[in-house]
């Protein structure tokens, strides 16, 4: 395969004016003229509010169509504008890619009462309480959508963890109790903080068959509805790798092997990257976080950095056919959780 050039067509601090999809549609020909082959679009789903960048995802079946969370549009615009942007990209030969957020759900509609234990945020394998009842935001009814496209409602038992007890008005990391509950197996998620299954909000439980069934139903609907030709998978080090391997296998069997997928495995460790690719049987590519870290270090060290080591430990060195190289993205921008911005003077060289 010849090298392709993808553009991440968004950043963290875009204005929340609902014009982004329209801007992208107008820019499609210009991007093609520049040689861009793929465009990674931001999450198109209804999130916590109209200003949400998209990762506080509320309803995967609402692409800016229904009045939910105080808005019809998302930060980026309306459903028909999203579909038009995808159409315009395809017309100029660019592969449109959707940012897919399957780790968690946010801004539930109703509280539910269920049993949890609190765990140590630094080591989620350590319980720091006896089982007790909380009131958690885990019931998703999507009233504004009124069962259009899909009638599934989410309940507490579709999640394995949450972060807020409304009964006590207390934040924490709460491991939900019940039959077949618990974090994903340690060897299926990142081992930071003991077990990094839990990231934020209400954490999807991929041991629950109804969760898997609903995500598969959504994927079929989403690709058919939008015509996207690829996925960028968000936060995959927090998602059961067994599920991810099978899910992408099945998506590609249905959509064709040219349906392009890459994952955000945010881990700078060389061995962990190699192991993850083996676990997913190399069914999709990964962003090259070790290379980004090298570029950042080179940009801050300046003349003290040995450029002959720039590719050391990177995916592009070890698995070039599965590496998505990048200089910076929305998470590495200044002020963000993973801030590691490559200094401006070094960006052209990077």
Q: What are the backbone angles phi and psi of residue 344, rounded to the nearest 5°?
A: -55, -40
Q: Is residue 114 classed as helix, strand or coil in its secondary structure?
A: strand
Q: CA 283, CA 246: separation in Å to the nearest integer?
A: 9
Strand partners, 165: 170
Q: CA 95, CA 108: separation in Å to the nearest integer?
A: 33
Annotation says 264 is catalytic: yes
Would you give the distance in Å from CA 143 to the centre of its chain? 25
Q: CA 187, CA 242: separation in Å to the nearest integer?
A: 10
Q: CA 133, CA 115: separation in Å to the nearest integer?
A: 4
Q: Which residue has the tokens 């801030």?
A: 339
Question: Could you give the residue ranges of the DSSP H alpha helices within the chain?
Answer: 20-34, 79-91, 209-226, 241-255, 270-279, 289-301, 315-318
State the Cα torsion 205-206-207-210 to the nearest 10°.
90
State the catalytic residue, choosing from 62, 109, 264, 328: 264
Q: Which two tokens stand for residue 71?
A: 């808005």
State the catalytic residue, choosing from 52, 234, 240, 328: 234
Within 10 angstroms of residue 241's Cβ, the number of other Cβ atoms is 23
Q: What are the backbone angles phi and psi of residue 305, rounded to the nearest 5°?
A: -90, 135
What letter would DSSP give residue 154?
B
Pairing, β 285-287 against β 323-324: parallel
Would you give the distance in Å from CA 105 to the centre of its chain? 11
Active site residues: 234, 264
């Amino acid at each position: 395969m010849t090298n392709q050039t993808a553009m991440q067509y968004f950043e963290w601090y875009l204005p929340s004016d609902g014009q982004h999809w329209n801007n992208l549609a107008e820019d499609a020909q210009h991007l093609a003229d520049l040689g861009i082959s793929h465009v990674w679009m931001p999450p198109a789903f209804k999130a916590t509010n109209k200003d949400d960048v998209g990762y506080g995802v509320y309803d995967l079946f609402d692409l800016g169509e229904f009045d939910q969370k105080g808005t019809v549009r998302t930060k980026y615009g309306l459903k028909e504008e999203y579909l038009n942007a995808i159409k315009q990209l395809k017309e100029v030969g660019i592969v449109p890619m959707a940012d897919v957020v399957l780790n968690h759900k946010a801004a539930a509609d109703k509280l539910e009462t269920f049993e949890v234990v609190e765990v140590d945020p630094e080591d989620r394998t350590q319980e720091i309480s006896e089982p007790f009842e909380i009131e958690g935001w885990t019931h998703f009814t999507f009233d504004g959508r009124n069962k259009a496209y899909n009638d599934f409602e989410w309940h507490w038992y579709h999640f394995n963890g949450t972060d807020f007890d409304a009964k006590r008005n207390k934040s924490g990391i709460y491991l939900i109790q019940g039959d077949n509950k618990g974090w994903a197996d340690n060897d299926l998620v990142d081992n930071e903080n003991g077990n990094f299954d839990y990231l934020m909000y209400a954490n999807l439980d991929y041991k629950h068959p109804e969760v898997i069934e609903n995500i598969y139903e959504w994927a079929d609907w989403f690709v058919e509805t939008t015509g996207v030709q690829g996925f960028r998978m968000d936060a995959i080090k927090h998602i059961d790798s067994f599920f991810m391997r099978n899910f992408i296998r099945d998506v590609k069997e249905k959509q064709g092997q040219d349906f392009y997928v890459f994952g955000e495995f945010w881990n700078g460790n060389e061995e962990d990257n190699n192991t993850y690719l083996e676990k997913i049987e190399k069914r999709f590519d990964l962003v090259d976080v070790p290379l980004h870290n090298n570029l950042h270090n080179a940009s801050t060290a300046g003349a003290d950095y040995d450029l002959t080591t720039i590719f050391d430990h990177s995916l592009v060195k070890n698995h070039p056919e599965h590496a998505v190289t990048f200089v910076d993205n929305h998470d590495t921008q200044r002020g963000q959780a993973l801030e590691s911005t490559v200094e401006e003077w070094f960006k052209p060289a990077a």
